[in-house]
């Protein structure tokens, strides 16, 4: 046996444990989907690919050790594994598929290895107990909705390798208090941090050339924003296709939040259609 085929054990609701032989190289799509009593699975070093939806809805699965032979975790692979508390992603994995761990509501922490170059859309969306995430400096793109709805996420360390923060990437991360966006980032997507109601400070680097509309909407606790952009001429506000109103920040913060800007740029910021709405615009001198 070299492969667990498509839907091989799909819906086996009484199956509690699985030991796969060393001959297996691939766990096919939907192989164990809906095995709601499955508590443990032993994946051998021979496996190189975990297919889409492979363990989707295995709501009793508590932990999984992915061997360092695996290079790809397919889309929806562990989606809805609501009892999954920990997962060990090896250095061999280069791609975490779309919605791979969506709705893993018991997942508290995850270490993403430095072999991963892209975190696909909604990969960890709805992981409501996830408190910390360390993103390695190999990652260039954080996909749309990658961590949306991670309501317990308090901190995130974005490395200098990241160039794009996708639409809705951290939407409704209501416990996130601060975020330092590295000076490698050129785009912050639409609604990227929308609904981060505990977010108090944001650092926008000079590298940013495009900011999506509603990127910081409903971030009602923001009290300081550090803008490093020395010129706004090349900074584009990307509009939402379904709502063409031009705003990035919640209107409620314009009186309370201080916008810190580089020396010599106050006039430009005051006349900008978005940043000009802040009443408190101060010069931030380099230390």
pLDDT bucket at 164, cuts 50 / 70 / 90: very high
pLDDT for residue 287 is more than 70? no
pLDDT in tens, 185-225: 999 999 999 999 999 999 999 999 999 999 999 999 999 99
User: Rounded mean pLDDT of the chain?
Assistant: 94
pLDDT mean over 100-113: 92
pLDDT at 156 (0 to 100): 86
pLDDT at 171 (0 to 100): 98
Listing DSSP states for the chain in one string gives --EE-TTTTTT-TT--EEE--TT--EE-TTTTTT-TT--EEE--TT--EE-TTTTTT-TT--EEE--TT--EE-TTTTTT-TT--EEE--TT--EE-TTTTTT-TT--EEE--TT--EE-TTTTTT-TT--EEE--TT--EE-TTTTTT-TT--EEE--TT--EE-TTTTTT-TT--EEE--TT--EE-TTTTTT-TT--EEEE-TT--EEETTTBTT-TT--EEEE--S-STT-EEEPBTTB-----B-GGGTTT-EEEE-TT-HHHHHTSTTGGG-SEEEE----
pLDDT in tens, 40-73: 898 999 999 999 999 999 999 998 889 999 998 9
pLDDT at 244 (0 to 100): 66
pLDDT bucket at 228, cuts 50 / 70 / 90: very high
pLDDT at 65 (0 to 100): 85
pLDDT bucket at 15, cuts 50 / 70 / 90: very high
Mean pLDDT is highest, among 61-65, 132-136, 160-164, for 160-164
pLDDT at 178 (0 to 100): 85
Percentage of the chain lying above the pLDDT 70 cut: 98
pLDDT in tens, 142-159: 999 999 999 999 988 899
pLDDT for residue 2 is more than 80? yes
pLDDT for residue 100 is more than 90? yes
pLDDT at 118 (0 to 100): 87
pTM of the model: 0.93
pLDDT for residue 239 is more than 90? no
pLDDT at 75 (0 to 100): 97
pLDDT for residue 273 is more than 80? yes
């Amino acid at each position: 046996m070299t492969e667990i085929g498509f839907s091989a054990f799909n819906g086996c609701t009484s199956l509690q444990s699985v030991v796969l032989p060393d001959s297996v190289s691939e766990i096919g799509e939907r192989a164990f989907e809906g095995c709601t009593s499955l508590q443990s699975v032993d994946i051998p070093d021979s496996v190189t690919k975990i297919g889409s939806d492979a363990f989707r809805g295995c709501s009793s699965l508590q932990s999984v050790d992915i061997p360092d032979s695996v290079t790809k975790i397919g889309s929806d692979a562990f989606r809805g594994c609501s009892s999954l508390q920990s997962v060990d992603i090896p250095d061999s994995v280069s791609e975490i598929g779309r919605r791979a761990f969506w709705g893993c509501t018991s997942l508290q922490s995850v270490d993403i290895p430095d072999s991963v170059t892209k975190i696909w859309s909604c990969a960890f969306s709805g992981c409501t107990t996830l408190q910390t995430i360390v993103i390695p400096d190999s990652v260039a793109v954080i996909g749309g909705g990658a961590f949306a709805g991670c309501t317990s996420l308090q901190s995130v360390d974005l490395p200098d390798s990241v160039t794009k923060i996708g639409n809705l990437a951290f939407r409704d991360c209501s416990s996130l208090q601060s975020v330092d966006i590295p000076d490698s980032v050129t785009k912050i997507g639409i609604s990227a941090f929308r609904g981060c109601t505990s977010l108090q400070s944001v650092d926008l680097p000079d590298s940013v050339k495009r900011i999506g509309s509603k990127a910081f909407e409903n971030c009602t606790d923001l009290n300081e924003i550090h803008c490093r952009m020395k010129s706004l001429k090349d900074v584009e506000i990307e509009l939402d296709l379904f709502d063409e109103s031009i705003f990035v920040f919640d209107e409620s913060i314009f009186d309370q939040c201080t916008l810190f800007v580089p020396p010599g740029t106050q006039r430009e910021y005051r006349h900008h259609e978005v940043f000009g709405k802040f009443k408190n615009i101060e010069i931030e001198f380099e230390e």
